Structure 1
Amino acid sequence: MFQILKTFVSVYETHNFTRTADNLFLSQPTVSAQIKKLEEYFDVVLFIRHGKQEIIPTKEADFLYPRALKMMEEWDDTLLHIHIEQNYRESCVLACTQSCGMYLLPKFVPLLIERFPMIDFHFPIMEYKTIVHELEQSKLDFGLIEWPERSEHLQRYVVAQDELVLAGRKEANYWLINECMTPLQEINDHYLRENNLSPAIIRTNSYEMIKNLLNQGVGRTIISKLALSENTPFEVLEMDNHRNFYFLTKEEVVSDLLAEVALFIRTTLQENAPPNR
């Protein structure tokens, strides 16, 4: 049954029987047969088939998908811990956006690794929408983002607050734009349009580069106040310039140890929120 659920999850995510067959090293007829067996078991239609390529999940598939992920995750966790040894090390993947990775992680990681010495932590930096998507698919354990992306499959907790400011010298000739598709880029584009500004643009996909250029006196941009050095000039924005940092978890954390990690991260961040200067 778990192999069939694994096949179902792959078809649901790829919308394609052929791709699922390639991903799982199965034949396409085997994939079709497993989905048919699952549909017969539940006596429902899980996918609407339009031709050979287009596969559309039904509402029954939408209902089954998060539950199948949970069952598979619980099974994997059970297999790991049935054969647990004295030196077994748990793993934990906490994905962060660039801002969270620079300003929140350093505040609590020393406390985290001291509290949980038998856990191997991984802190990948990702775009916020990718974090939400991969957390929904149980590819991550937790996430830290600074934009209120909603998901019916995730829990979201406010753990700190940030302030956006217009940074840089007023006489600067360049505007700094992070070309990654983020709400911060949209905020900068909107500000330029609303104020009828047409400055020369410096584009980069590096938040760190933008921060360092500002701190070296090059260009202007709307950015987190936390990014600025003590000598970087800035103006308070007339718009609503506050945003929250959010800690994301799945609706239920399967491992008791990871549930303890989640609670520790939340409380530590809330107690040690970085102040605005």
Structure 2
Amino acid sequence: MNVNQLKYFIEFVRTRNFSKAAERLRISQPALSLQIQKLEEEFEYQLINRTKKPLGLTPEGELFYEKALKIVQQIEDLSNLSLEIDENHKGKLTVGIIPTLSPYLVPLFVDEMKKKYPMLFLDIVELNTEEIVSQLTYNELDIGILSTPLKAKNIGFVPLFQERFYLYVSEKHDMYKIEKVELDKLPLDELWYLREGNCFQNQVNSICQIPELDNTNLSFRYVSYSIESLRRIVENQGGMTFIPELATVNVPTENEDMIKTFEDPAPLREISAAYLKTTGLKKTAGLLLDVIVANIPSRMRLNDKAKPIDTKIRL
């Protein structure tokens, strides 16, 4: 048995397809099949249930996968040990951030990170929560920044700050004249929506007790992937939408009156860093988190008494 064989098996489990796994690994399909076969022969039990479609794992294969994944994670982490020890803080830090946060958070910390740690290359990518968890699991990310609470196997979380939810209301709407909004009086049929299944939208659904899109009798709904696009819709077409606190910073002065606060207790979301428990929080990731927290408005610092809205994501 060697480490490459373990990596081949892990990639197969990830794709559940020999052709796709071989393509990702840049080897031939017969070579991949042969290496996994050798693992099965060495351990004298079947890892893959080849009678299933799509292919599945045997109970022994499931157990083998969990242990193999931990071994590969630790070996890859060991290869980066010199970067963790180096006091010059150089190398590469790969960060995944959810799309409802990234456009507003990154500008707050990226300049200071470049000034303080010029030899540390930040590779930042927008990913949804499931993608962040998956890529952390397979060591494709060093750290993720997402909304919590959520549950994910072998993933640890470090709470960073809290964001209130605000309502963004068109000047054409009657609620534009209201200073503070009562949640139970929101006209749900006039809300513009993010894509269903997004953690931000899951939280909005919880706040308003909004039914699933497929179960609603509302006559019209616009579904978007972007908070900014929903803002533009409200500005040009009317209606209203939810926006997170950091998004209010980018609202032009002439549109600030469109931002409405909620009656207390105002709903909020918790933003946390996610990391792989097997390898722990990397030193360079800790440097990033310190800079993020230092640049967040003081009003958004963690408050133990405030209860964040659940993301309803279980992975």
Whether TM exceeds 0.5 here: the answer is: yes
Between 57-66 and 5-14, report the one with greater CA deviation: 57-66
2:175 aligned with 1:152, yes or no? no
Letter in 1 for 2:197: M
User: Residues 44 and 60 of structure 1 are in contact (CA less than 8 Å); yes or no, is this contact kept in structure 2?
Assistant: no
Once the two structures are TM-superposed, the CA of residue 177 in structure 1 deviates from its matched residue by 1.2
Look up the match of 1:86: none
1:262 to 261, 285, 302: 285
| Consecutive unaligned residues in structure 1, runs of 5 or more | 82-88
Q: Secondary structure at the match of 1:155?
A: strand
Higher RCO (CA 8 Å, separation ≥ 6 residues) = 2
Distance 1:252 1:115, change over 3 A: farther
Residue 134 of structure 1 and its aligned partner are, at CA, apart by 1.2
Aligned partner (choices 197, 213, 219) of residue 181 of structure 1: 197
CA gap of 1:7–1:26, structure 2 versus 1, over 3 A, is same
2:122 aligns to what SS in structure 1?
strand
Equivalence for 2:93 = 92
Counterpart for residue 268 of structure 2: 242
Is the Cα contact below 8 Å between 1:217 and 1:232 reproduced in 2? no
Report if aligned partners of 2:156, 2:277 keep a CA contact under 8 Å in 1. yes
Q: Comparing 123-132 with 177-186, which one deviates more in the overlay?
A: 177-186
Q: State the partner residue of 1:274.
A: 297
The correspondence of residues 55-74 of structure 1 with structure 2, limited to 5 A, is 55-56=56-57, 58-74=61-77
Match of residue 47 from structure 2 = 46
Distance 1:182 1:6, change over 3 A: same
Tell me which residue corresponds to 1:227. 247
Aligned length: 267
CA distance in 2, matches of 1:244, 1:139: 24
Contact between 1:168 and 1:233, CA under 8 Å: does it hold in 2? yes
CA separation in 2, counterparts of 1:263 and 1:128?
20
The 5 A counterparts of 1:22-171 are 22-50=23-51, 54-56=55-57, 58-74=61-77, 77=80, 90-169=91-170, 170-171=173-174
Q: Distance in 2 between matches of 1:214 and 1:111?
A: 34
For normalisation by structure 2, the TM-score amounts to 0.70
Cα offset, 1:236, TM superposition: 0.9
CA distance in 2, matches of 1:276, 1:200: 37
Q: CA deviation at 1:235?
A: 4.1
Query: RMSD in angstroms over aligned alpha carbons?
Result: 3.5
Identity %: 20
> 2-side partners of 1:6 and 1:185: how far apart?
36
Give the deviation of 1:55 after TM superposition: 2.6
3-state DSSP of counterpart to 2:13? helix
**Distance in 2 of aligned mates of 1:239 and 1:107:** 27
Q: Which amino acid aligns with 1:171?
A: D
Gaps of 5+ in 2: 84-89, 176-188, 301-315
Q: For residue 158 of structure 2, what is the amino acid of its counterpart?
A: Y
- CA gap 1:7/1:218 in 2 versus in 1, 3 angstroms: same
Question: Structure 2 CA distance, aligned partners of 1:198 and 1:92?
Answer: 45
- Counterpart residue identity of residue 264, structure 1: L
- 1:8: which partner in 2? 9
User: Which residue identity is paired with 1:178?
Assistant: L
Does the Cα contact within 8 Å between 1:4 and 1:38 map onto a contact in 2? Answer: yes
CA distance 1:103–1:276, shift in 2 (3 Å):
farther
Shift of 1:143: 0.9
Q: Is the 8 A contact 1:9 1:69 kept in 2?
A: no
Residue 39 of structure 1: how far off its partner (Å)? 3.2
